[in-house]
Structure 1
Amino acid sequence: MRTDEKFVITINREIGSGGCTIGRKLAEKLGVKFYNKTVLQKLVEHFELSPEQIDRIKARKKNWWTELSELVATGMAPGFSDKLSEVTSRDLFEKESEIIREITDAESCVIAGRSGFFILKDHPNKLSVYVHAPLEKRVARVMRKQNLSEEDARALIARIDEGRDNYTKAFTGSSRYDVHNYDLVLNTDKIDEDEAVETILALIPKTVD
């Protein structure tokens, strides 16, 4: 990767690993934008859905009709919006891919998540990073950052992990845990966020042709 040309760094991460903080600090060091919630907001505006509804669609294992049938059986159908039933996870992935490519065609940046390692796999000037941490460390961080009980933090992590796993597998054909998808894998149980940023920065000159 060269920083004297248009570039992109993708930061895929486990919730509670500090990946977003690392991405934001890295972008500041490089003088470029950090994209995380911006992509989600564009999806919200395009599909006229809430962030929670988008997460729900991404986490689906089945088609929407099966899900609706189950909701009817449990008496929950009245809360199931028409818009939510119309949008598929495929629709989300295709629009998300379009948004990300538009951003990276226009400028250098750091992007968090969004299966960026796959969507941008053919980008000529890209560095892909994966950030992870042991479960207990993730739980503690989520409890602190989101003011949750341990039980609620564990439940949130399990739900988000499952949703991201399903979404990534369905549309990339690969596991997000597969190290072959990344140029660099960082364990934030071994290094702190600032050290992680410096590790990424130190790698960049070595990737120049």
Structure 2
Amino acid sequence: MEPMVITMAREYASGGSEIAQAVADKLGIPLYNKELITMAAKRSGLTEEAIAASENQRSGSLIYSLYMMGNTMPLADQVYILQSNVIKEVAAQGSCVILGRCGDYVLRDRPNVLRTFVYAPLEERIQRAKARPDVKDMSDRSWESQLAKHDRARASYYNYYTENRWGEAKNYDLCLNAGLGLDTCADLIVAAAKAMQVKE
């Protein structure tokens, strides 16, 4: 049986990162998030900073970049291809949780992948964002604008590199409202993953 892989996309400050960690802990499997940056950097010779900075950017046309190849390929496209290869490698090595980075799309042809999306009520997202370290004090209206900006960047990146729409329910196996509780969401994902393995 193929290893179980759980991919998770999420709204900014929805609690998705915490849910992903809880799922990994409950199942005793690794979580790949920023580790994918480190692994991609080691394979490419690029710095982790350069990879992280390019993650939410996109170039003009990936098809054109692939046609041109060589050194003309924009850094964002190079990083997407590089991270896609790393995601496929870690998925082949064993069960894991992959956070973000179009993981659901990258592994679209692979069996035994549970594709999840986490969203949350705006008020909860604002409170979660405010609680992050080193954040400046802003009004709730300003926070709402910041959250929307982060989500637009994620959607733009995802929509550009995939054939799907970010956050659209039909592209995922399970969409969860983090307002149900982070631990509840983690338990639901674990139950769905186990059900999928039994079905396999």
Q: Give the TM-score range, shorter chain.
A: 0.7 to 0.9
* 8 Å Cα contact 1:58/1:163 also seen in 2: no
- Cα separation, partners in 2 of 1:57 and 1:134, compared to 1, 3 Å: same
Q: Within the alignment, does 1:192 sit opposite 2:181 as a pair?
A: yes
- Letter in structure 1 aligned against 2:96: C
Normalising by structure 1, we get a TM-score of 0.77
- Letter in structure 1 aligned against 2:46: E
Which of 132, 138, 142 does residue 150 from structure 1 map onto?
A: 138
Gaps of 5+ in 1: 64-84
- Letter in structure 1 aligned against 2:92: D
Shift of 1:143: 1.0
- Letter in structure 2 aligned against 1:143: K
Shift of 1:92: 1.4
Which of 101, 119, 129 does residue 114 from structure 1 map onto?
A: 101
- Counterpart for residue 203 of structure 1: 192
- Counterpart for residue 126 of structure 1: 113
Which of 168, 171, 177 does residue 161 from structure 2 map onto?
A: 171
* 8 Å Cα contact 1:35/1:109 also seen in 2: yes
Shift of 1:203: 2.1
Pairwise CA RMSD of aligned residues? 2.5
Write the distance in 2 (CA, Å) between the matches of 1:136 and 1:154: 9
* Residues paired across the two proteins, number: 184
* 8 Å Cα contact 2:8/2:117 also seen in 1: yes
Gaps of 5+ in 2: 61-71
Write the distance in 2 (CA, Å) between the matches of 1:174 and 1:203: 22
* 8 Å Cα contact 1:58/1:164 also seen in 2: no
Q: Within the alignment, does 1:18 sit opposite 2:15 as a pair?
A: yes
Per-residue CA deviations over 1:167-202 (Å, capped at 9, x if unaligned) read 11111022111111111000112x111111111122
- Counterpart for residue 38 of structure 1: 35
Over the matched positions of the two proteins, sequence identity in percent amounts to 30
- Cα separation, partners in 2 of 1:56 and 1:161, compared to 1, 3 Å: farther
* 8 Å Cα contact 2:37/2:52 also seen in 1: no
Shift of 1:155: 5.5
- Cα separation, partners in 2 of 1:109 and 1:61, compared to 1, 3 Å: closer
- Counterpart for residue 150 of structure 2: 160
Which of 114, 123, 136 does residue 136 from structure 1 map onto?
A: 123
- Counterpart for residue 93 of structure 1: 80
